[in-house]
Amino acid sequence: MSLIVQKYGGTSVGTVERIESVADKVIGWRQKGHDIVVVVSAMSGETNRLVEMAKAIQEQPVPRELDVLLATGEQITIALLSMALEKRGCTARSYTGHQVHIRTDSVHNKARIVDIDDKRIRKDLDKGRVVVVAGFQGMDEEGNITTLGRGGSDTSAVALAAALKADECQIYTDVDGVYTTDPRVVPEARRLDHITYEEMLEMASLGAKVLQIRSVEFASKYGVRLRVLSSFEDTATGTLISAEETEMEQALISGIAFNRDEAKVTILGVPDQPGVAHKILGPIADNNIELDMIIQNVAEDSTTDFTFTVHRNDFDKSLAIMKETANKLGAREVTGDSKIVKVSIVGVGMRSHAGIASTMFETLAKEGVNIRMISTSEIKISVVVDEKYLELSVRALHEAFGLDQLA
Ligand code: ASP
Ligand code: MG
């Protein structure tokens, strides 16, 4: 017998009928002899509805009061699910975040969990009850209600699983797992049986649609076995996210991630002296603009060129800042391009295999795709290419690394 924490997202509890079918699912697991703690989100659309009401009154709602309001969404679903369980003869208890002492810091609207007191939940489990906990919410030291940021129920579930030392944390959602890439771009994309925490974090641009990325960081830190699976299918095993297992035969590449929100800025012909990097990138950081890739190359005339990428939303601002900086530093020119994308191959297998980068570049060359920038980390290689080549690049790489579904 094991202890399982299950989290059901908004679409899984989107209607009363869906809540009833979640109850059937939970009881199925109970009947196999497992102890179950359930974490639920608000019914789909509910959190947005609450945000809109708040904004109708105050464009920037008082953060503390917004949390009091948003926390009600999850309180509805815990009560309804517990009723559905009781109706089926399964004893259940629902609790809000503060009732089970999910302690957070005081950063309203994006609080972080600092501690969970698992005693109350254990007492209920010992009495044979299913415990149903509201996701997304907690309480700070002063007793104020806090919420964890959009999608935060995933993190609630992982944190509870860590505190209770659960055998597994299952995230039920409307997709049946994590895919090798976005199936809308590559119809041959496959569901992965297993992916490591590290890979999942690197695939954030794909994974973020499935899981709140912070929950993966949390799971990695506390070694929580995390499984993503569909609440709409019965037999599926989903995707297991866990630490690297050495005995397992690792695929070279686990997935192809991409990001359409990139833009790049280049400053050309900057006199090359100690401190230029700071002078160029400092004002960007001071404006709270996040940098992704950075490349510097030095020309023979002892000037240097600098290129960096930012989120597309920050493009205009970055370009304006760079023009100012260029004047100050006596640089030759500033150019920019907001029609670029980043495509990355991700896999822990890269650590122990040479030649992966060259396969990637060869594949793109064959398709006539011009690579504008390259960056690498231990388990990821990213390239920046023109927006129009996104689909072509992702498809070609997916095939080249043997990720296509076997026909
Ligand atoms: N209900 C919250 C949201 O919509 C939290 C969650 O669903 O995880 O963001
Ligand atoms: Mg979600």
159 and 269, same domain (yes or no): no
User: In the listed set 119, 141, 174, which residue is the last one of a domain according to the structure?
Assistant: 174
Which structural domain range is residue 23 located in? 3-174
- At 269 the pLDDT is 94
Which tens digits make up the pLDDT trace of 38-50?
Answer: 999 999 999 999 9
Which tens digits make up the pLDDT trace of 122-169?
Answer: 999 999 999 999 999 999 999 999 999 999 999 999 999 999 999 999
Neighbour-count burial of 10, counting CB atoms closer than 10 A to its CB (0-12 exposed, 13-18 middle, 19+ buried): buried
* CATH at 55: 3.40.1160.10
261 and 162, same domain (yes or no): no
Q: Which ligand sits closest to the CA of 212? A: 2
Q: Is the pLDDT of residue 302 over 70?
A: yes
Contact 265, 307 (CB under 8 A): yes
Nearest one of 113, 227, 107 to 163, comparing CA atoms: 113
Contact 49, 70 (CB under 8 A): no
159 and 274, same domain (yes or no): no
Mean pLDDT across the stretch 165-193? 93
Closest residue by CA, ligand 1 atom 8:
151
Q: Which ligand sits closest to the CA of 70? A: 1
Cα atoms found within 13 Å of the Cα of residue 67, Cβ hemisphere only: 25
Ligand 2 ion: residues within 5 Å (CB): 9, 151
Spatial distance between the Cα atoms of 293 and 376, rounded to a whole number of angstroms: 10
15 and 121, same domain (yes or no): yes
Average model confidence (pLDDT) across the chain? 93
Closest residue by CA, ligand 1 atom 6:
151
Closest residue by CA, ligand 1 atom 9:
150
Q: What is the pTM of this model?
A: 0.89
| Total tally of structural domains belonging to the chain | 2
- Which residues have CB under 6 Å of ligand 1? 9-10, 41-42, 47, 73, 135-136, 150-153
As a whole-number percent, the residues of the chain with pLDDT over 90 amount to 85
